[in-house]
């Protein structure tokens, strides 16, 4: 409580104090108030007190002394001069500055004793009281001078006493005034070091142009060593580009060499002490000639600074020093130096830049272009008809400082083209606004006075004398060559494409190129040096069209006449219906479209120029119309085979549609030919094997490349076929000859890298009704499994499921654990889009032909304007369509990286596939049949989709970065068998059987494919569901219940020698470890009182 009480007392005291202060500040008024009032106390006046020393030293030319006095009452102070012998030398400026009436000059003292000590008495008055002060102002001698290119104002000046070229403490510093003059304190030199006066940056006071990063310097006028009190001190120094070269030489002999080379008959000392600009203004011809040299040297220095990106004092001085050295080198081989000659300018620009900055290399074509305007402008500077300090030349200098410097920086950085650079530095561009005398001659009557014209006589040669009129026997004009080019309209809008323009010139002179007129349907730009024209179609340009641009060339002297480049911009008229290539929600003539972006994501790949070139795809099917207008250009002549007529033309003789031809169109319709649509890989090579017209194992394996020299260059086999609506297991697995063909293909073809086999998974999701406990669509169970085709129980096949235009499972697509990837197959083209592709040619054959109304307007017997010849169809579907979309993407991958092995391809597809339709879970009797699983290796898998939907952009990008054949040797565990258990399968009961497996010796213990052999007997086989669990715990459904299986497999292993089996497989374990205990789980899902017998299973794991 005591502490609390103290705090209250303090608070009360504070309030009281605050109140008193407030009343004191606000009270007042004269006269007496009532007894209880308050009033402010009167404060007595104090006189002001001077706060400056009585003696003050200033450098000559200083503006004066700021007077300071302190007044206790904070009254306003008025200063005045009231006496002293030198009072008439001063006045009060700005109320408080004791300023000189005439600028102080040490050499011409204005004080009464002429000793540079001014005595004056000043007074400070606060309105009531005064104070006086006797002051002595001492003027010190200054080192004076001027910085001249034009007179440079605002430049930083310092005297470098120790030779390190940087400002050190104690070194005199200053800044030039508006006319370029400066004054800095006098110096005491350091023994054996010649001091330099250095100027950096500033503004040309005549042109108003900034001279950033521009340094000039001079020697300090002698004597350099003296007694501080008894010798004549250095006085005036006039700093110019020429004195800069002289100051960086090492001896007087070198100084004389430089002056002699420029034909200057004057001494270095005289140049240093002469105000060249002022002397030239006064009419001195000698000074005018020296100023012309100064302007030329300055331009060269600024050019090197710009080329080299100089942005500091040290490097700017390095350029000056190097320029001096290179000029001295020139004097060893030539008596005079002419800075208007291109060869001299070229030599100096190159040598100074590359000597001072060894990391910078100027290419010869670039150097040639940089030299031209520098030499041309120096020729104008050198013109004796023009006063170098007059208004015309000031205008020329301003244009050079601004125009050339800016364009040179932009050209070096690549912001402008060679042509733009040349145009910006043409005389008319640079000097068009320069004022010239009204009587100035214009010999060639081109509107540009001779004194500022680079080519006075218009003879096409930019020389100094310009004595002859135009003579085409001496100079012929260059020629810009007209041409027609074909451009592909790429799927990514405004994809830039390039072509190379050409021209000719006398003596093979280097040409520069310039654009005269742009296109109407896109924009063009030209690399002025290389002639490469870059054309970008407009966003609105979507159809085949012809555009034109015009251009001309210049050989360094004269321009050609204008020539035209015709650009034939090509696309495919049906491309915009091909939603699988670019899904914009188009309907492709069905009732409704799909979802935006649900496509192969191939646009960026094609637009980047990856089109399947150098890759060959074989179509194993019913036929291939090798003369079809939209396929013929991609057909490899003489490499297909017809198993019906034993020739190399597999064109179908049937007229009701050719499945193989339409499949081929999805992969390889020729792109940008202004007809039809476009293939996934529009530049891929194509062959066909029509073994389905004469089906046999022998013909199939031949078509797969076994003992088939015709197929020696095939990279990818597209197999859009399979078992049709199987209702029974095929015992014994794949045919041995078929297996041999696969092994041959992946082992020997593609120079040992392995052929790629892409097969459609099937279209039997439903057959004669839906499958499942309720026989309803909502059961979400399929009627078959992809593995019912034994080929899908092999690791060599890339099994393909189908997606529709919404990015979901196509209604017919057969699922299975042996699916690898999903492509696009669409629906039926009535209510939702199918696939647009080619059809047999003419309206007398094909799916679209006379008498066939089709499912939509496009497919109506040739009545549609865009299909009047019936060569195309919009209703193709099935996993037969999905497989070629995948084959096409793989072709793009192999073009991007031809060294990929067949296993590399599978890995990239699995790694880059895009997950769709998540979550999608289906269970039967509480047991999950289908769902997205993430296995122990991180791969996502679903029996409907495999690893997901193929993503062309991701796959090709991965292929480009992929190190081929890095998976190691392909190994297998061989068949590991469970015990023969002969277990009775009872309704609603799950049995499991374990098999331990060891990884093959030398392997990395990594799974690529799991293959099983199952031996069981059951009269109602579709009641059985089979799952497999890996050692990592991943569970894969390898056979769903409620399929259309009807026949008892009768796979009997009661007698080992005659053991029979059917095969299942799974890709779901890709990347997981091989070794460990594997568990097979078998469930009888249907409560029908029917029992079966499970004998055993065997498992073989492939991997590395």
Residue 170 has phi, psi (to 5 degrees) of 95, -15
Q: What is the pLDDT of residue 449?
A: 80
The C-alpha angle 348, 354, 357, rounded to 5 degrees, equals 125
Distances (CA, A) of 383 to 404, 526, 592: 19, 35, 78
Nearest to 911 by CA among 929, 927, 893: 893
Taking each helix axis as running N to C, give the angle between helix 879-896 and helix 952-961, from 0 to 180 degrees, rounded to the nearest 10.
30
Cis amide leading into 667 (omega within 30): no
575-723+736-920+934-939+941-945 has the same fold as 479-570: no
Residue 739 has phi, psi (to 5 degrees) of -60, -40
Q: Rounded to whole angstroms, how far apart are CA atoms 1009 and 903? A: 11
Please name the residue that has the structure tokens 């699995």: 910
Say how many C-beta atoms besides its own lie within 10 A of residue 643's C-beta.
21
Q: What is the pLDDT of residue 911?
A: 98
Q: Rounded to whole angstroms, how far apart are CA atoms 478 and 504? A: 6
Class of domain 479-570: mainly beta
Say how far residue 388 (Cα) sits from the centre of its chain: 47
pLDDT means per 10 residues, the chain with 1104 residues, are: 33 30 32 39 80 92 90 91 96 94 90 94 94 95 88 94 90 92 85 88 93 89 48 69 91 91 89 90 92 93 92 93 92 88 90 92 87 89 89 89 88 89 87 84 73 65 41 68 91 87 90 93 93 92 92 84 93 96 96 97 95 98 98 98 98 96 98 97 98 97 97 98 85 92 98 98 86 88 93 97 98 97 97 98 96 91 93 97 99 98 99 95 91 98 98 98 96 94 88 96 97 94 96 97 91 79 97 98 92 94 98
CATH number of 968-1103: 2.60.120.260
Nearest to 501 by CA among 407, 423, 567: 567
Class of domain 575-723+736-920+934-939+941-945: alpha beta
pTM: 0.61
Q: What is the pLDDT of residue 226?
A: 38
Instruction: Check residue 942 and report its DSSP letter.
Output: B
Instruction: Check residue 799 and report its DSSP letter.
Output: E
Burial class (CB in 10 A: 0-12, 13-18, 19+), 496: middle
CB distance 853 to 844 below 8 Å:
no
Q: What is the pLDDT of residue 15?
A: 32
Q: Which pair of structure tokens corresponds to residue 71?
A: 């007044």
CB distance 894 to 731 below 8 Å:
no
Q: Rounded to whole angstroms, how far apart are CA atoms 604 and 620? A: 29
Q: What is the pLDDT of residue 460?
A: 52
Q: pLDDT tens digits, residue range 828-855?
A: 999 999 999 999 999 999 999 999 888 8
What are the E-state strand segments in 690-771? 716-719, 756-760
Q: Rounded to whole angstroms, how far apart are CA atoms 123 and 1084? A: 120
CATH number of 55-140: 2.60.40.60
Q: Rounded to whole angstroms, how far apart are CA atoms 470 and 551? A: 24
Q: Rounded to whole angstroms, how far apart are CA atoms 505 and 511? A: 7
CB distance 524 to 534 below 8 Å:
yes
Q: pLDDT tens digits, residue range 695-709?
A: 999 999 999 999 999
Cis amide leading into 972 (omega within 30): no
Q: What is the pLDDT of residue 267?
A: 87
**For the chain, domain boundaries:** 55-140, 142-431, 479-570, 575-723+736-920+934-939+941-945, 968-1103
Q: What is the pLDDT of residue 34?
A: 36
Q: How do 616-620 and 685-689 pair as beta strands?
A: parallel
């Amino acid at each position: 409580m005591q502490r609390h009480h103290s705090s209250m007392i303090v608070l009360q005291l504070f309030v009281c104090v605050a109140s008193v202060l407030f009343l004191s500040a606000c009270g007042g008024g004269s006269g007496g108030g009532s007894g209880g009032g308050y009033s402010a106390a009167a404060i007595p006046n104090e006189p002001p007190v001077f706060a400056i020393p009585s003696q003050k030293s200033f450098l000559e030319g200083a503006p004066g002394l700021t007077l300071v006095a302190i007044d206790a009452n904070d009254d306003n102070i008025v200063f005045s001069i009231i006496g002293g012998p030198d009072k008439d030398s001063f006045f009060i400026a700005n109320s408080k500055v004791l300023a000189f009436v005439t600028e102080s000059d040490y050499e011409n003292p204005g004080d009464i004793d002429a000793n540079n000590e001014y005595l004056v008495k000043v007074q400070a008055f606060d309105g009531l009281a005064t104070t006086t002060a006797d002051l002595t102002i001492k003027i010190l001698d200054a080192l004076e001078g001027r910085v001249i290119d034009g007179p440079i104002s605002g430049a930083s000046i310092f005297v470098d006493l120790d030779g390190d070229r940087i400002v050190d403490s104690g070194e005199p510093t200053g800044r030039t005034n508006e006319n370029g003059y400066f004054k800095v304190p006098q110096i005491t030199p350091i023994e054996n070091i010649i001091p330099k006066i250095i100027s950096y940056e500033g503004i040309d006071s005549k042109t108003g142009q900034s001279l950033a990063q521009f340094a000039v310097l001079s020697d300090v006028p002698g004597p350099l060593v003296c007694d501080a009190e008894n010798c004549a001190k250095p006085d005036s120094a006039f700093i110019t580009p020429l004195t800069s070269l002289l100051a960086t030489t090492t001896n007087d002999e070198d100084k004389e060499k430089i002056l002699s080379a420029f034909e200057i008959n004057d001494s270095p000392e005289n140049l240093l002490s002469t105000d060249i600009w002022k002397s030239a203004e006064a009419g001195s011809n000698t000074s005018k000639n020296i100023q012309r040299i100064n302007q030329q040297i300055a331009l060269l220095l600024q050019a090197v600074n710009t080329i080299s990106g100089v942005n500091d004092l040290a490097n700017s001085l390095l350029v000056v020093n190097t320029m001096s050295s290179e000029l001295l080198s020139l004097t060893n081989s030539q008596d005079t130096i002419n800075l208007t000659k291109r060869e001299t300018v070229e030599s100096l620009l190159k040598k100074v830049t590359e000597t001072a900055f060894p990391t910078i290399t100027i290419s010869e074509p670039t150097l040639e272009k940089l030299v031209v305007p520098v030499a041309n402008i120096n020729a104008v500077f050198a013109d004796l008809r023009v006063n170098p300090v007059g208004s015309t030349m000031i205008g020329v200098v301003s244009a050079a400082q601004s125009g050339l410097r800016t364009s040179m920086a932009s050209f070096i950085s690549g912001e402008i083209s060679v042509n733009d650079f040349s145009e910006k530095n043409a005389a008319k561009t640079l000097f068009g606004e320069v004022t010239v005398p009204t009587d100035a001659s214009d010999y060639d009557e081109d509107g540009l006075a001779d004194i500022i014209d680079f080519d006075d006589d218009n003879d096409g040669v930019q020389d100094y004398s310009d004595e002859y009129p135009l003579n085409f026997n001496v100079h012929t004009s260059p020629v810009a060559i007209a041409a027609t080019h074909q451009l592909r309209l790429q799927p990514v809008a405004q994809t830039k494409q390039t072509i190379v323009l050409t021209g000719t010139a006398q003596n093979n002179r280097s040409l520069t190129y310039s654009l005269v007129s742009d296109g109407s349907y896109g924009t063009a730009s030209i690399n002025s040096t290389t002639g490469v024209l870059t054309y970008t179609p407009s966003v609105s340009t979507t159809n085949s069209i012809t555009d034109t641009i015009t251009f001309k060339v210049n050989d360094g002297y004269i321009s050609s006449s204008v020539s035209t480049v015709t650009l034939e911009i090509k696309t495919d008229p049906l491309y915009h219906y091909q939603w699988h290539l670019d899904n914009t929600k188009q309907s492709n003539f069905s009732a409704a479209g799909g979802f935006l972006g649900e496509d192969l994501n191939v646009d960026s790949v094609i637009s980047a120029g990856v089109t399947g070139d150098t890759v060959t795809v074989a179509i194993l099917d019913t036929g291939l119309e090798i003369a079809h207008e939209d396929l013929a250009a991609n057909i490899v002549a003489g490499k297909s085979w017809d198993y019906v007529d034993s020739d190399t033309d597999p064109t179908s003789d049937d007229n009701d549609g050719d499945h193989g031809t339409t499949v081929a169109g999805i992969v390889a319709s020729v792109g940008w030919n202004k007809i039809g649509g476009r293939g996934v890989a529009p530049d891929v090579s194509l062959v066909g094997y029509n073994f389905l017209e004469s089906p046999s194992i022998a013909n199939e394996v031949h078509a797969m490349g076994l003992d088939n020299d015709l197929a020696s260059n095939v990279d990818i086999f597209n197999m859009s076929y399979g078992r049709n609506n199987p209702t029974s297991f095929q015992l014994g697995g794949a045919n041995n000859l078929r297996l041999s063909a696969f092994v041959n293909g992946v082992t020997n073809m593609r120079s040992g890298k392995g052929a790629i086999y892409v097969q459609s998974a099937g279209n039997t999701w439903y057959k004669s009704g839906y499958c499942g406990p309720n026989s309803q669509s909502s059961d979400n169970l399929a009627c078959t499994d992809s593995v019912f085709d034994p080929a899908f129980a092999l690791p060599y096949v890339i099994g393909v499921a189908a997606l529709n235009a919404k990015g979901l499972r196509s209604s017919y697509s057969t699922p299975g654990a042996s699916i690898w990837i999903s492509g696009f197959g669409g629906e039926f083209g009535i209510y939702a889009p199918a696939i647009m592709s080619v059809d047999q040619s003419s309206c007398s054959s094909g799916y679209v032909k006379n008498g066939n109304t089709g499912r939509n307007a496009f497919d109506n017997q040739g009545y549609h304007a865009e299909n009047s010849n019936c060569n195309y169809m919009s209703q193709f579907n099935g996993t037969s369509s999905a497989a070629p979309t995948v084959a096409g993407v793989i072709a793009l991958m192999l073009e991007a990286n031809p060294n990929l092995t067949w296993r590399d391809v599978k890995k990239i597809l699995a790694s880059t596939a895009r997950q769709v339709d998540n979550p999608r879970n289906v269970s039967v009797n509480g047991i999950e049949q289908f769902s997205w699983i993430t296995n122990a290796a991180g791969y996502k898998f679903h029996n409907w989709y495999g690893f997901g939907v193929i993503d062309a952009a991701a796959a090709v990008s991965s292929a480009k970065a992929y190190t081929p054949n890095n998976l190691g040797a392909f190994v297998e565990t061989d068949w590991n068998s469970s015990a023969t258990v002969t277990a009775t399968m009872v309704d609603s009961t799950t049995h499991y059987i374990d098999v331990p497996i060891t990884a093959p010796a030398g392997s990395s213990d990594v799974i690529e494919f799991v293959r099983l052999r199952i031996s069981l007997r059951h009269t109602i086989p579709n009641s059985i569901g089979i799952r497999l669990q890996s050692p990592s715990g991943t569970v894969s459904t390898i056979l769903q219940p409620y399929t259309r299986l009807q026949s008892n497999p009768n796979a009997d292993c009661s007698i080992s020698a005659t053991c029979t089996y059917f095969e299942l497989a799974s890709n779901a374990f890709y990347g997981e470890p091989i070794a460990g205990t594997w568990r097979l789980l078998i469930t009888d899902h249907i409560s029908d009182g029917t029992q079966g017998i499970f004998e055993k299973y065997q498992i073989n794991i492939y991997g590395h």
